[in-house]
Structure 1
Amino acid sequence: MLDRITASLSSLAPAEQRVGKLVLADPRAFARLPVRELAERSQVSKPTVVRFCRSMGYDGLADFKLKLAGSVSEGVPFIHRSVDLDDKTGDVLVKVVDNAVAAFLQYRNAASTSALDRAAAALAETWRQRGRIEFHGAGNSGIVAQDAQHKFFRLGVTSLATSDGHIQVMSATLLGKGDCLVTISNSGRTRDLMDAADIARRNGATTIAITSSGSPLAGSCQIHLAADHPEGYDRYSPMVSRLLHLLIIDVLATSVALRIGSSLQPVLQQMKDNLRAKRYT
């Protein structure tokens, strides 16, 4: 959560930047102080404090403080342990698992439930209007896009996944009102993905970005689901980021399934029965 605020600071209005700097200076104090004192310390109005919280993707001050308290809680530390060249297999096992678990706990405490709710509502609305959902990604994120398409087509949603930049641009050109584009990117700076998202948004489609805070892609899409982590990917292929993206897709797919309701259960059961015939007894 603190990483997200740091990354987003430069894109905020000057008054909101002062609130953000106050959070970063002493997050524990910010989580317990009343709005009046927070406004005085950051030299802004009380509505500006609330506006900052909403700019970061939270419902308001209460929601922000709750997530902030969980993020800085000593009970859920985030210690990113990089793999070293002389690590034994046992060391690698512990570090990779610890990094993944810590990233999931950090996301649970810091995730914006309002942003997730907006994204799930938009995806469910696309299902209701019989529109199309597309998942775009490149590299590792392209694999996540394929996983997302696999999860959503089982819900009866017309969905497509692509990692080819030319196909993404052409496909985005065919999207329109009632359709939805979900763009998945670790850096949020891949030109092909941003071009396709811009085209889809101009054509009236709802655009959702699963990417890092403060990135160009995060600012260009209508709904941003922050996927922030301290993983460095200069030495090894991204691991924590990919798992975090997959987790967010799981949350969205489950939320959309709940919105579709009981009509989905017979279809899933029939699908399961049909698949059973494909297995050896």
Structure 2
Amino acid sequence: MLERIKASLPSLAPAEQRVGRLVLNDPRAFASLPVTELAERAHVSKPTVVRFCRSMGYDGLSDFKLKLAGSVSEGVPFIHRSVDADDKTADVLVKVIDNTVAAFLKYRNDASAGAIERAAEALAATHRSGRRIEFYGVGNSGIVAQDAQHKFFRLGLNTIAYSDGHMQVMSATLLGPGDCVVVISNSGRTRDLMDASEIARRNGATIIVITATGSPLAAGAHIHLAADHPEGYDRYSPMVSRLLHLVIVDVLATVVALRIGGELQPLLREMKNNLRSKRYA
């Protein structure tokens, strides 16, 4: 929610921007103070405070403050960062979606187009040379790795995904110069992934990682695609992180498809035609 407010500030009227900055400076205080004091602190009228809340998509000040209080809470451990134990279903719906939207907007604003460009070029070059592209992940990230393999496989790339640590180590041992490994991890500290990544790197393969900034896995990569979010990997269920990783994979696959160029269109068209027989009319 706070990230969404921050991203929306430039599009608001100056008076509403002052209210937005008041929220960002001290969200807990904003959620507890009466409208009169909020207006005084922001140097705006009381209707402007309400107007700001509606500009952000809420019914009014009360609805905004309710959602704000939830978004800055510590959440229920091992379930979701923003959800409280006594939340109604409607509250859970809003909080889970708002949290995800905020993470997406933050990624859109913070993502390095240069890093994505380098990763896409490395993958396209591996494809042109006929070398291997492998996706590694464990646990929840292993599912994302399988999704990534499926997306790139459809583009005609020579890909495979491994979620077992032993298989990753064995496969990394067989890689060499020109091959490419995409490692996906929420924490960036999983031992199996770090071991396999180091082996592949020693053998000359290009290492691309999708993980948190400042993690050991990120430090050992040739190309790091930052996936930063407020969800504690050791405390909450990986919801936002999983969706963010999937979005990054989608962006990367789209850019690679554009790099491959026109030769891809007939292949995808034929694939779609061949799949039609698998569906009921």
**What TM-score, normalized by structure 2, do the two folds share?**
0.71
Matches within 5 A, 1:251-262: 251-262=251-262
| SS at structure 2 position matched to 1:84 | coil
> Does residue 77 of structure 2 align to residue 101 of structure 1?
no
Deviation (angstroms), 1:174: 0.8
Distance 1:231 1:190 in 2: 17
Equivalence for 1:263: 263
- In structure 1, list runs of 5 or more residues that go unmatched: 1-74
Deviation (angstroms), 1:170: 0.2
Per-residue CA deviation, residues 226-249 of structure 1 (Å, 9 max, x unaligned), is: 000001344542100000000000
> Which segments of structure 1 move beyond 4 Å, counting only runs of 4 or more?
78-81
Equivalence for 1:92: 92
Q: Aligned partner of 1:116: which letter?
A: I
**Residues 186 and 233 of structure 2 are in contact (CA less than 8 Å); yes or no, is this contact kept in structure 1?**
no
| SS at structure 1 position matched to 2:232 | coil
**Residues 131 and 158 of structure 2 are in contact (CA less than 8 Å); yes or no, is this contact kept in structure 1?**
yes
Q: Aligned partner of 2:268: which letter?
A: L
Distance 1:85 1:201 in 2: 45
**Residues 139 and 163 of structure 2 are in contact (CA less than 8 Å); yes or no, is this contact kept in structure 1?**
yes
Residues 224 and 262 (structure 1 numbering): CA distance in 2 closer, same or farther, change over 3 Å?
Answer: same
| SS at structure 2 position matched to 1:209 | strand
Distance 1:270 1:211 in 2: 35
CA RMSD of aligned residues (A): 1.4
Equivalence for 1:249: 249
Identity of aligned residues (%): 75
Distance 1:234 1:91 in 2: 24
Equivalence for 1:230: 230
Equivalence for 1:173: 173
Aligned residues: 205
**Residues 186 and 241 of structure 2 are in contact (CA less than 8 Å); yes or no, is this contact kept in structure 1?**
yes
Per-residue CA deviation, residues 54-85 of structure 1 (Å, 9 max, x unaligned), is: xxxxxxxxxxxxxxxxxxxxx9xx96661111
**What TM-score, normalized by structure 1, do the two folds share?**
0.71
**Residues 187 and 233 of structure 2 are in contact (CA less than 8 Å); yes or no, is this contact kept in structure 1?**
no
> Does residue 210 of structure 2 align to residue 205 of structure 1?
no
**Residues 152 and 159 of structure 2 are in contact (CA less than 8 Å); yes or no, is this contact kept in structure 1?**
yes
